[in-house]
Amino acid sequence: HPTPQVGLLEIVHHPPRAFSAQEGYVRFISALCEISEDFCQHSQLEKLRELESLWEQFERFSEHVHLHLNTEQTAFIIANEGRILIDCDRLSVLQKSGKSYQLIAASGVESIERRSETVQRLESLVSAIQSLRRPYWIMQAEEKYPPQIAEPLHAYLDLAGSRALMIFPLSHIIHETSDDSANVNTNVDNSQLTVGAIVIEQFHEVPSSHTMLERSLAVSRHGGTALYNSLQFESFPFFPLLKHWSYSPLRKKQLTVRKLLMAALILAVLSAVLILTPADFKIEGTGSLQPVDQQNVFATADGVVDQILVRQGEDVTTGSTLITLRDSDLELEFSRVRGEIQTTQKRLAVIQAARLELNPTDANALQQANRLTAEQEELNERLKSLNEQSTLLKNQQEALTLKSPLNGEVLTWDLQEKLLARPVQRGQRLLTVADLKGPWVLKMEVPDSEIGHVLEAQRKSKEPLPVSFLLLTDPDQTYQGTIENIAATAEPDADGKPVVQITVRLDHETIKGLRPGASVLPQIDCGTRSLGYVWLRRLFETVQRELFFF
């Protein structure tokens, strides 16, 4: 068989004149061809070795990433094994939650600090970029980005210091498409379900490489499928119970008929006890103690805090001055208006004197008197307008003096340090005044998913539902109260979860160490239910929601 050709050697030269020189030249060219052939074969061998090493790394990554059905372990493997395969400095894995993304793993990091500003900015950046539904995104220095991307990008780079950044979605193929002409440059196909994203970072300058892009796409494809499988597995109803049962030694034991009957009898007795035994049914929530008469004092205008006349814990009365603000623009405008009023008044005095000096026998006196009268009327109208402006500006200056809205005590701590000589904006809360000697209430929050039990118990009861609570500062003592009001709508709390506000009436004289905002653990007494329902109601509700869609 002829030797396959691996290349072509082109030589441009003058033809040799002597026949012996031609033979020598042929031998020289043959030697060059042999050397070139060896070089080409060696290069191909090196490429095959690199390809074999890449396939070994890719096979190891594929084996490890599909090894577990635990979301945290899968994300950890994607981050660390993917970083080795791509050969980048850091790889982060984010899980999609609604329209936002949450960081769940990063290479070289065992746990994620959720309160870290870097983590929050990275999540904002990925959420902004993934909303564009691109197959992938690469940061390019010469490209100008829209504000919705530029702002979170610069905010993250200021903290992270990355020199190169790539973001790839983690997607799972829902169904195969027959269009083979689609490429990675088109938008994300609807046949793919996005479950997360990976962020690839380099902290030093690196040349753009097509190999790195191909490896990143491979990691995103396999990582997306692995993460999707983990999420689907963990979303199965009773997953924690089934997980523990799979490792239980009882599962491997052989159960005889006698043992099965004994187990059935025990289960029947337990079921009867859980169904027939009554128990107090209570709904828990969170809350804090607040005085009924409590009001915040807000800045009435933009300005600078000039004086603070009270301190935390000081008693005040209705109408007493708390804080004075200073507005330089308002003072300048008031001075200008006051100066114009004085100028107008002087001009009116001059006109009045000129009218008195007119000679009645003079032929031009009537014409001059008419001119002075018209000017006087105009100045009077202007003076009226200036006086109205002066009154309005004076009222605005008086509004810069903030007064107490009620009799009570100043609650805000360290006012001098927080506010003195600092600029404030209109509507900004500056301090709080409350009457600590008057009635108190418990402001309680109940999850929206639990409020149905409270409303049902309230309909069945003729009296307000009783509430028991304890202070976190004094957990040994339990206090009592009754529901006064239940909000008609649910509102999101600090974590974004819907809660319903409940106001509880209480006897503040029986509570020791009352402090505004003191945290309490309240429980609403909703009557009695079976012991099994009280203990297992969350399980029942989960079964109804997940299996029966009730």
- Of 121-135, 215-229, 243-257, 324-338, give the lowest mean pLDDT range: 243-257
Work out the end-to-end distance of the chain between its first and last CA atoms, rounded to an integer number of angstroms.
76
| Residue pLDDT, tens place only, 98-136 | 888 999 999 988 888 888 899 999 999 999 988 877 777
Token pair belonging to 48: 């095959």
Residue owning tokens 């049962």: 245
Average pLDDT over residues 249-264: 70
pLDDT attached to residue 184: 44
Tell me: pLDDT of 139 over 90. Answer: no
Average pLDDT over residues 202-227: 85
262 confidence band (pLDDT: 50, 70, 90): confident
Tell me: pLDDT of 265 over 60. Answer: yes
19 confidence band (pLDDT: 50, 70, 90): low
Measure the CA–CA gap between 275 and 269, rounded to whole angstroms.
Answer: 10
| Residue pLDDT, tens place only, 282-324 | 999 999 999 999 999 999 888 899 999 999 989 999 999 999 9
**Strand-strand pairing, 192-202 and 164-173:** antiparallel
Q: DSSP of 44-62, one letter per residue?
A: HHHHHHHHHHHHHHHHHHH
Considering the chain, what is the average pLDDT of its residues?
84
CB proximity list for 16: less than 8 A, separation 6 or greater:
22, 24, 25
Q: What is the DSSP-derived secondary structure letter of residue 130? A: H
Measure the CA–CA gap between 303 and 244, rounded to whole angstroms.
Answer: 63
Query: Which amino acid makes up residue 259?
Result: K
- Of 4-13, 102-111, 364-373, 427-436, give the lowest mean pLDDT range: 4-13
Tell me: pLDDT of 94 over 70. Answer: yes
Measure the CA–CA gap between 410 and 312, rounded to whole angstroms.
Answer: 5
pLDDT attached to residue 238: 57
CB proximity list for 525: less than 8 A, separation 6 or greater:
280, 281, 282, 457, 465, 466, 467, 468
- State which H helix or E strand residue 353 sits in: helix 328-356
- Of 66-80, 201-215, 239-253, 270-284, give the lowest mean pLDDT range: 239-253
Tell me: pLDDT of 32 over 90. Answer: no
| Residue pLDDT, tens place only, 415-426 | 888 888 899 999
pLDDT attached to residue 418: 87
CA angle 296-297-301, nearest 5°?
140
pLDDT attached to residue 187: 47
pTM of the model: 0.50
| Residue pLDDT, tens place only, 140-172 | 766 778 888 888 888 898 888 888 889 999 988
- State which H helix or E strand residue 279 sits in: strand 278-284
pLDDT attached to residue 213: 86
| Residue pLDDT, tens place only, 516-550 | 988 999 999 999 999 888 888 888 877 777 666 54
